[in-house]
């Protein structure tokens, strides 16, 4: 990490977390954050994810740029792909503040934003204006006061789907009441069918991913794997934030909301590995949760991931982290004379038993 980046992070950490979050997006959009410009890439790092050509497998998870305010700069921040949102059909303010907490002692974050966003129409217009480059996807959700949340997901696809390179169905956020109920097999199948029908109305086919929670038991994982296969979703993102508070030492540990960052790594990777086994490796998986180094990314790929996403660690290590992970991953693949394809799932059995 360069001195300028260290100073910037130190300054942001003196501010309220949500103020710092907003300021970092403003700084990006104004060109005040030094960025690499092009993602780290090589023959070893280039990969195909559900038809998307990625220069490297290190992506940005949804939640950072909810409103697509800094799309172009994020495309130059070293990521192999970027996910924006979550977007809902109508704008909504989300939950009352404060709703974002740094758990510095645990290298973690708790948020209870509640799908705050400016609505799918505005987000779609910003995404449509982005330059050519790496794939940019949109995480989609439902309005809190909706009478038909399943219909909301399809509505976002109708409004914004044509502006995205991929779409992620988010039924796993813990911050919208009863949203996770949509992960049940019957409700999930109906929701996905509506989303896929809306996707098929778009002028060009977009991959549809499903994002799941880390707080699932083996039976629930098996049900989701079966529904995903039956509906022919293009990939599964494992996982969202957790409701668990195991092992935390921060004074903010008792805050309600979803926990992300380092404490999520073991739990999320275990779910990822069990999902890989449940799907037989036939559905591309994206590993998320607690990744802060190339070794973490390596372990996610061993557990079954075709690609990974980061977010919380950026708050502690800065945007240079994406390039560092990609570079170190490339060097390790070279040193161990292996490929991403050979590595994928090679440690799933070990991780699934933890």
H/E element holding 334?
helix 320-335
State pLDDT tens for residues 345-354.
999 999 999 9
**Is 239 annotated among the ligand-binding residues?**
yes
Instruction: Indicate the domain borders of the chain.
Output: 37-352
What confidence score (pLDDT) does residue 289 get? 98
3-state secondary structure of 288: strand
Rounded mean pLDDT for each run of 10 residues along the chain, 354 residues in total: 90 98 97 94 98 98 98 98 98 98 98 98 98 98 94 98 97 81 88 97 97 95 96 98 97 98 98 98 98 98 99 97 98 98 98 97
Q: What is the 3-state secondary structure (H, E, C) of 79-106?
A: CCEEEEEEECCCCECCCCCCCEEEEHHH
Task: Identify whether the C-beta of residue 136 lies closer than 8 Å to the C-beta of residue 81.
Answer: yes
- Just list the catalytic residues: 173
**Is 311 annotated among the ligand-binding residues?**
yes
**Is 261 annotated among the ligand-binding residues?**
yes
For residue 66 the two structure tokens come to 């909810």
What size, in residues, is the chain? 354
What confidence score (pLDDT) does residue 178 get? 76
> Which residue in 178, 175, 235, 242 sits closest to 207, CA to CA?
235
The domain made up of 37-352 has a fold known as TIM Barrel (3.20.20)
Please name the residues in contact with 188: beta carbons below 8 A apart, sequence gap of 6 or more.
171, 182, 210, 223, 224, 227
pTM score of the predicted model: 0.97
**Is 249 annotated among the ligand-binding residues?**
no
What confidence score (pLDDT) does residue 236 get? 98
CA distance 204 to 182: 27
Question: Euclidean distance between the first and final Cα of the chain, in Å?
Answer: 33
**Is 269 annotated among the ligand-binding residues?**
no
């Amino acid at each position: 990490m360069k001195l300028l980046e260290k100073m910037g992070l130190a300054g942001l950490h003196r501010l309220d977390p949500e103020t710092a979050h907003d300021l970092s997006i403003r700084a990006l959009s104004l060109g005040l954050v030094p960025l690499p410009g092009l993602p780290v890439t090589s023959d070893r790092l280039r990969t195909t994810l559900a038809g998307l050509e990625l220069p490297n497998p290190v992506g940005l998870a949804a939640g950072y740029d909810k409103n697509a305010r800094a799309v172009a700069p994020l495309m130059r921040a070293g990521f192999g792909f970027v996910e924006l949102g979550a977007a809902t059909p109508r704008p909504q303010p989300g939950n009352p503040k404060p709703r974002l907490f740094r758990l510095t002692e645990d290298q973690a974050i708790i948020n209870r934003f509640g799908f705050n966003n400016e609505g799918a129409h505005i987000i779609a217009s910003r995404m449509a204006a982005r330059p050519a480059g790496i794939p940019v996807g949109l995480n989609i959700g439902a309005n809190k006061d909706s009478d038909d949340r399943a219909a909301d997901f399809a509505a976002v696809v109708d409004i914004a789907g044509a502006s995205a390179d991929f779409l992620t169905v988010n039924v796993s956020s813990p911050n919208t009441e009863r949203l996770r109920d949509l992960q049940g097999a019957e409700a999930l199948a109906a929701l996905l069918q509506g989303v896929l029908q809306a996707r098929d109305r778009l002028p060009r086919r977009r991959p549809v991913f499903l994002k799941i929670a880390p707080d699932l038991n083996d039976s629930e994982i098996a049900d989701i794997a079966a529904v995903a296969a039956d509906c022919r979703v293009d990939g599964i993102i494992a996982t969202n934030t957790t409701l668990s508070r195991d092992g935390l030492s921060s004074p903010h540990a008792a805050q309600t909301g979803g926990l992300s960052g380092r404490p999520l790594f073991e739990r999320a990777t275990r779910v990822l590995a069990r999902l890989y086994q449940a799907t037989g490796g036939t559905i591309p998986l994206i590993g998320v949760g607690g990744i802060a180094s190339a070794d973490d990314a390596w372990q996610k790929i061993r557990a079954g991931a075709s690609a990974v996403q980061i977010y919380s660690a950026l708050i502690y290590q800065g945007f240079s982290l994406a390039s560092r992970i990609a570079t170190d991953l490339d060097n390790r693949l070279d040193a161990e004379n292996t490929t991403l394809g050979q590595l994928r799932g090679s440690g799933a059995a070990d991780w699934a038993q933890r």
